[in-house]
Amino acid sequence: MTIVGARPQFIKAAAVSRAIRETSGLSEVMVHTGQHFDPNMSDVFFEELDIPRPRHHLDIHGGGHGDMTGRMLMAIEPILLEEKPDWVVVYGDTNSTLAGALAASKLHIPVAHVEAGLRSFNRRMPEEINRVVTDHLSALQLCPTTTAVTNLAAEGVTAGVHHVGDVMYDATLFVADKAEKSSAILSNLGLAPKAYALATIHRAENTGDRQQLLAVVQFLQDQSRKFPVVLPLHPRTRQAALAMGVDLDGLKVIDPVGYLDMAKLLHNALEVYTDSGGVQKEAYFHHVPCITLRDETEWTETITHGWNRLWKQVAHAERREIDEYGTGRAAYQVARLLSGAR
């Protein structure tokens, strides 16, 4: 059983689901918690990425972290009892991830965590709490980098740990040509390739405090004096900006976009500004320099290899290629381990 709920998880699950379908002896039941419920952030990904339609859709979103996670726990448990899966697969670091891992482990169903071992070392981030707890509940730790393996070892987690590469790289390779051919987002927005920047803001550390959100927006507005900054606006950020009176003037604000449109925007951007872990990596996959709108990142190799920098740093390091993410076959490593460990 695969449990997903947010945009980055749909992208990763698309790659792994394809590998599962091609692996003898494996079948998959998809559960969508509903954490991302906007059609532009949910339904369109299932359509564009050929993800199996969820057998169970929980429609759980909104509320505080405890409220959301608790409701997910209550809803997932009876589904696990009904479906009786051999494995529960979770992705990344969201409330959906934590709820799935907790529900499964309490029923003694082994958990496989795709994207295990990442650490920002900032426990004020809800995502850090989610990923640490999930890692310590999981029987299979499917790590995207050797740094992630090292992080787990430092916490005493060595059993079931595998460096498989990054399944998001698999997904990027799968859709790159399709996005370039089928997406009309640039012409629709009146943009020329390599003549604009792309930005995303959604993390609670940036949207939960007016001064922080204002500082991030002012950074983007400063950048927009050099070239247009396109901002697909996350619903949480839209609500926060309205509630806090933060003006988004000067930015090219658009509604959230599907994966193909986002891939085209990323591929043709001059720079990327983001607080998203996934978008940091996707920028590298498209060989576009990134500036992370946070004070730390779990994707440290993007910093050390010069493709990314934190927004308060002065400059990027010397640029070189990153070998950690694999060759686009990480999802098949995941499927092989699930199959072999059953």
202 catalytically annotated: yes
Alpha-carbon distance of 21 to 10, in angstroms, equals 16
- Match 């692996």 to its residue by tokens: 23
Phi, psi of 300 (to 5 degrees): -65, -30
Cα–Cα–Cα angle for 92, 93, 99, rounded to 5 degrees: 105
SS percent in the chain: helix, strand, coil, step 5: 45, 15, 40
Catalytic pick from 32, 61, 113, 202?
Answer: 202
Q: Which residues make Cβ contacts (< 8 Å) with residue 54, sequence separation at least 6?
A: 4, 30, 31, 32, 46
Residue 17 contacts residue 28 (beta carbons within 8 Å): yes
Q: Could you give the angle at the alpha carbon of 312 between the alpha carbons of 311 and 313, nearest 5°?
A: 95
CA separation for the pair 169, 144 (Å, rounded): 10
Which residue spans within the chain are E strands per DSSP? 2-4, 30-32, 56-57, 88-91, 111-114, 140-143, 161-163, 197-200, 229-232, 252-254, 271-274, 290-292, 308-310
Rounded to whole angstroms, the Cα distance separating 18 from 25 reads 14
- Copy the structure tokens of residue 206: 């940036």
> Which residues are the active-site residues?
202
